[in-house]
Structure 1
């Protein structure tokens, strides 16, 4: 349970604050449209959603904050779809691989789901095949899912097929649920947008993209940079060329703008990550904004 333990520790650190902060209520469901039935009242505890406070009952209680407890008529399924493959073995920052970030993202969403009693499942690229892990509420199964992501993202694995991953994801969940897509810093073309549109019709969708390490970053100026595909080292002299740095930055900016425009058209909540520093607070913020947008 080592991977899941690290994620849970990060979540605990991110939520250790006074009520009223940005990420309050992070233990509530990822799903905003769930049908709920009122059950009873209990005292407020740190991490509860302030929207669930019953202010009238709290006033009558003589000072204690009371929150409403509900019984869910059904559980939601959160399906994490990860475009695993060789590219995730690449670096996202000078100290972390994209795989490190992907595991943290999957673990964070999975933990938020299971802690609320929802199901979490995984769909990933296994070579040229797409595989799926049955949704579960058990921590041991979530840990096993994180292991699948790690095993399928080594440097000797073929690239994953993102289009096929989206196609299978759209047909795997029979009932409306939440799909969290974790993929590279992709450029969303017409075909990919079409596949995402189909997914949005069937499910709530969030997209997490993972940044590529900038080979011209001064922080790695004296370290070798080797391509995953050809294992060739990029010359340090070339990496110090300001024109290359400008070209890389321009390409990233344009790709991000196109992606943001496409995802906005589809009303898809998204997040772009270049490392695990601040990842959990960013995920929690995304979840809250996604819930309030629905």
Structure 2
């Protein structure tokens, strides 16, 4: 297993059972070799599934049933702009935490034979990786993201969401990985387009708060101070904290209204909890 997948596995673990089961859009319905039960034959059943020995002992023709699986086409949509160079509350770079989340989703798809692709970029545009399967494919995607993130334009996840809404017509399971975006009308319109066709989940990597930092924090995209010299003024800090709470409440309400399971990740240690919680909500909703 490659470097990035191994790092993701170190934080996420190896048990992916039950994750990404269900959902609205099961794109390929197959069966495993795991026997489930016998049932009476009905017209239209595959005659190859008849259990002749069991039928001979019974008064009717019996069919073998097998455990079924639903396979999906998964699309990772990731912010690779400069915002992802900022640090989280756990003092990790956001892009490193994002890589572990992306890798965790990749690990889940490996155990399910799902196809997985990726769209990532910044305000200048989006890069697309076509869907495929396997460790080498996933490691290549993660390597591409790692080499691009933070090196070019500013962050604007709306750019990537709009690209996906425009270019991907067939139903997908979409997992968005970014920081916490601004909940404005443009974002709401993009989410309306996406959720009309696709299943969407969103993992958000938290920012380290500017309040409580001696210099008031800096915006990594612009280099400008967030609070600056006012960081020592309790009234300014309190007003900033209230504004942040309102902003996050608007975002949470928007995602809930659009039926988008979401989780906020403060550091790599929380990746398994967040991904597990997000996928469980999605599976129940499907």
Q: TM-score normalized by structure 1?
A: 0.77
Question: Does residue 245 of structure 1 match 2:242?
Answer: no
Across the aligned residues of Structure 1 and Structure 2, the Cα RMSD in angstroms comes to 2.6
Alignment match of 1:260 (pick from 252, 268, 273): 252
Structure with max Cα Rg: 2
2:194 equivalent in structure 1: 199
Task: Spell out the pairing of 1:60-209 with structure 2 (5 A cutoff).
Answer: 70-72=67-69, 75-93=71-89, 95-125=91-121, 128-154=124-150, 156-209=151-204
Unmatched segments (≥5 aa) in structure 1: 16-25, 43-67
- The change in CA–CA distance for 1:215 and 1:205 in structure 2 (over 3 A counts) is same
5+ residue gaps, structure 2: 37-64
1:8 and 1:178 map into 2 onto residues whose CA distance is 21
| Conserved? CA contact 2:122–2:159, under 8 Å | no
Deviation at 1:242, TM superposition (A): 2.2
Instruction: Say if 2:33 is the partner of 1:32.
Output: no
Match of 2:9 in 1: 8
TM-score computed with the length of structure 2 as normaliser: 0.79
CA contact (8 A) 1:81 1:180 kept: yes
What is the CA-CA distance between 1:188 and the residue it aligns to? 1.6
Matched-pair contact (CA < 8 Å) for 1:208–1:272: yes
- 8 Å Cα contact 2:216-2:230 kept in structure 1: no
Tell me the alpha carbon deviations over residues 208-252 of structure 1, each in whole angstroms, 9 at most, x when there is no partner: 2222211223xx54x894442444567875333322331232122
- Do the aligned partners of 1:124 and 1:165 also contact (CA within 8 Å) in 2? yes
Call closer, same or farther: CA 1:39–1:209 in 2, change over 3 Å: same
Is the 2:87–2:208 Cα contact (8 Å) retained in structure 1?
A: yes
